[in-house]
A and B are shown apart, each in its own frame.
Chain A
Amino acid sequence: MLTVWAILIDGFIYASWLFLVAAGLTVIYGVMRILNMAHGSLYALGAYAAASALGWYYADGGDQLWMAFAIIAVCAVAIGAVTGLAIERGLLRIMYGRDEILMLIITFAVLLILEDVMKLIWGTTPYFAYQPYAAMGRINIDVLTVSRYDLMVLAVSIVIGVGLWFWLERTRIGKILRSIIHDREVSKAMGVNVGRMFTITFMIGATLGAIAGGITAPIISVVPGIGIEVIVLAFAVVVTGGLGSITGAAIGAIIVGLARATSIHTMPELELFIIYAVMAAVLVFRPHGLFGQAVARKI
């Protein structure tokens, strides 16, 4: 019974982290039809910024938990929004209308460039910012312990998921974005400033990636390459759920999270295999993912 509880708790905690990582990726694809490989770099930038700032804060004798969270939030939002704006205005803007594959290659190039930029700025030594994770303590369930920080990540993930749903479904700007998703050209003809909407969407997607990195920084050692590791997982989740679907990303993350937790608790050697086995199984029966929709191509 303890193992079942452990699988459920671990599965949902991991799913919440996966959703955080994948949300920005799926928002950008949903609106802009860009498979943003640079999303991994935005995650890494958020993690580096938060880990550096937390390091300075604690080295200066800081010990307030709320300040640590404020630092993570400010750093992640600032670096995500600024980098997102720079990528969209400086590069993607001039490439709109090109083939999706070309956009994927361009964002992959951005990923590689940003990886080296991060090495130049932060070097190769791992950054640790474990203090908030340790300070929040844990809850004991028999021999099993659950980190309160992990539960906070779960809560943040739910807030972001609900916030995204509300933004897209219940706000004016959300309605405009949905009109762009349905038909970009007609929206333009109706007076929608598609370029500005794209900029806003990309900045929000990039900020979500950086928030995921910032919130993960106190859990992991922040090292070069974490962005590349995470983008592969994020793709597995959004492909399982259906590219461009927020609900799909959430359901995909829960399925992958629970399957992975079940594997680790029962057959640990299958941990990596199970994630991609789930993705493959879903795609066999639903080639566009659980919530993805087949779209006729214009030729």
Chain B
Amino acid sequence: MKTIQQRNIWQKTLLSTATSVALASAGVMGLTATAHAQDSFKVGFVTFLSGGASGPFGVPASQGAKVVVDAINEGTLPAPYDSKGVNGLTLEMVEVDEAGGPTKQVEEYRNLVERQNVNAVIGYISSGDCLAVGPVAEEMKTFTIAFDCGTSRMFEELEDPKYVFRTGLDAVADNVGAARYLAETRPDAKRIAGIQQNYAWGQDSWQDFTLAMEQLMPEAEIVNNQTPQIFQGSYGTEISALQTRRPEIVHSSMWGGDMESFVAQANARGLLAQATALLTTGESGLHRFDGQAPNGTILGGRGPFGGFMPENDLSEWFSKAYEEEHGTPPSYPASKAAQAILALKYAADNSGADGVPSSEELAAALKGAKFESVSGTVNMGLAGGHQAVQPMLYGEYHFEDGQAELRNVKSYAGDCVSAPDGYNAQEWIKEGFPGSSCD
């Protein structure tokens, strides 16, 4: 009996001690967590870290973002971002791989918000991922910036967005800009062909480009369009099919390794001596072609990014910092990622919040704002203040003495290449770009 009583006492003592320790630990952990939350702002950064899109897009984007995040935390960014941190808080970046498709990305997004407790999310190269994640971000009321995806349907399908922003241009601007560049620099071109990856991005790009060509170069004939699978890698048969149609211009929205492979193969096969390639995402290969693209190849950079960045304190700082760290100038995905991080800093610094700004405070600060960036002044002037409107630039690739550069660069104002608010982009093109001013 005594033994049983003694055991009960021991059990009670152990239980109470364990409870005290647990409560104390929880208290300490809670305090730590609170202190941590007060000191830092956590942002999820989603980009391709594996798969075909990672090398030319995802990894440079991640590197570009990290360069800016480090500078923000050290307080070494040029004005107007020379204050340390975001709203005084250390910026902490949690990276997630974008590979795996939209369903996986929706899960990853929920994990970021619910388990990792991020305060905001920046990311998404794939249009499919943007379309899938947008409604979830609105549902979860989390401040989210799409830094690269180009689908024009993003804000058509998100009615009255509150939390989702895009700090880059959509694919319509790429292709209207491409058609305007051709009309200005090669007005006599009569035979136009294309090669696009066979999914939404390629199909939408070709549709927008051909619609714009009907308006701007009605004499030109579309002679062929090839639609290889994404990540196909080898384009021998497609190149033959294009050659037999004798085009003068070959438009392509292919990106990354696919685009670079196509250029190398088409150049070796002589197609690019027979026709000029117009590559809407070609800037990402500017420092990678290594002379494999012929001089005169037309490159776009999805806006004033990468080699198309204007000269300003931020772009000069970013180019120098990125090159010092990675040994190559930043391509357009790197500068677009940098721009999104700067947008976050702008929103946080101007949120008026005491401590960690809420998603509502961040959204209110960025909505319709004009902020300075590596690409110049960014005007969040579309989609009710949620979408950037910026100039679109195209130029010609030139490679001499081991150095690549852009020549004959033309810039088209934002409202010259983007549909005004409330317009369906394709209708806007078909109606002859009403409201655009291209002077």
Q: Show the binding face of A for B, using Cβ within 8 Å.
A: 2-3, 6, 9-11, 13-14, 17, 119, 123-126, 128, 130, 133-134, 138, 140, 143-145, 147, 149-150, 216, 219-221, 223-226, 229, 260-261, 264-265, 268-269, 271-272
Contact = CB atoms under 8 A, between A and B. Distances in A.
A153 to B, nearest CB: 10
B226 A264 contact: yes
B436 to A, nearest CB: 31
Contact of A147 (B50, B55, B236, B256): B236
Contacts of B25: none
A17 B237 CA distance: 12
Contacts of B44: none
Interface in B20-79: 48-52, 54-56, 58-59
A133 B240 contact: no
10 contacts: A13-B237, A124-B49, A124-B55, A130-B264, A220-B234, A223-B257, A229-B231, A264-B226, A265-B237, A265-B240
A261 B237 CA distance: 6
Given A6-B241, A264-B238, A130 B256 contact: no
B59 A133 contact: no
Contact of B236 (A10, A125, A224, A229): A10
Given A128-B260, A144-B244, A271 B229 contact: yes
Nearest to A119: B50
Nearest to B291: A134
B207 interface: no
Interface stretch (B86-94, B126-134, B266-274, B363-371): B266-274
A268 B244 contact: no
Nearest to A3: B244
A269 B126 CA distance: 22
B434 interface: no
A223 B50 CA distance: 9
A48 to B, nearest CB: 13
B117 interface: no
A125 B331 CA distance: 14
B231 A14 contact: no
B48 to A, nearest CB: 8
A144 B238 contact: no
Nearest to B52: A223
Given A10-B240, A134-B268, A220-B233, A126 B274 contact: no
Contacts of B231: 223, 225-226, 229
A125 B52 contact: no
A226 B270 CA distance: 26
B50 A150 contact: no
Given A130-B292, A221-B258, A226-B233, A268 B51 contact: no
Contacts of B381: none
B141 interface: no
B228 interface: yes
B276 to A, nearest CB: 15
Contact of B270 (A128, A138, A229, A261): A138
Contact of B51 (A149, A220, A224, A269): A224
A123 B62 CA distance: 14
Contacts of B58: 124
A116 to B, nearest CB: 9
B225 interface: yes
Interface in B211-238: 224-229, 231-234, 236-238
A6 B264 CA distance: 20
A260 B55 CA distance: 29
A265 B198 contact: no
B246 interface: yes
Given A10-B241, A124-B49, A264-B237, 19 more contacts: A2-B244, A6-B243, A9-B240, A125-B54, A126-B55, A128-B288, A133-B265, A134-B267, A145-B243, A221-B258, A223-B233, A224-B51, A264-B226, A264-B241, A265-B244, A268-B226, A268-B227, A271-B227, A272-B198
Contact of B234 (A140, A219, A223): A219
A229 B234 contact: no
Q: Top 5 closest A-B pairs, CB basis?
A: A220-B233, A221-B257, A124-B54, A125-B55, A126-B257
A198 to B, nearest CB: 32
A109 to B, nearest CB: 18
Contacts of A269: 198, 227
Contacts of B258: 221
B244 A133 contact: no
Contacts of B238: 264, 268
A223 B268 contact: no
Contacts of A9: 240
A128 B269 CA distance: 17
A265 B51 CA distance: 29
A14 B54 contact: no
Given A138-B269, A268-B225, A144 B54 contact: no
Contact of B274 (A3, A6, A143, A219): A143
B210 interface: no
Contacts of A223: 51-52, 55, 231, 233, 257
B234 A124 contact: no
B55 A268 contact: no
A14 B50 contact: no
Interface string B163-202: 0000000000000000000000000000000000010000
A10 to B, nearest CB: 4
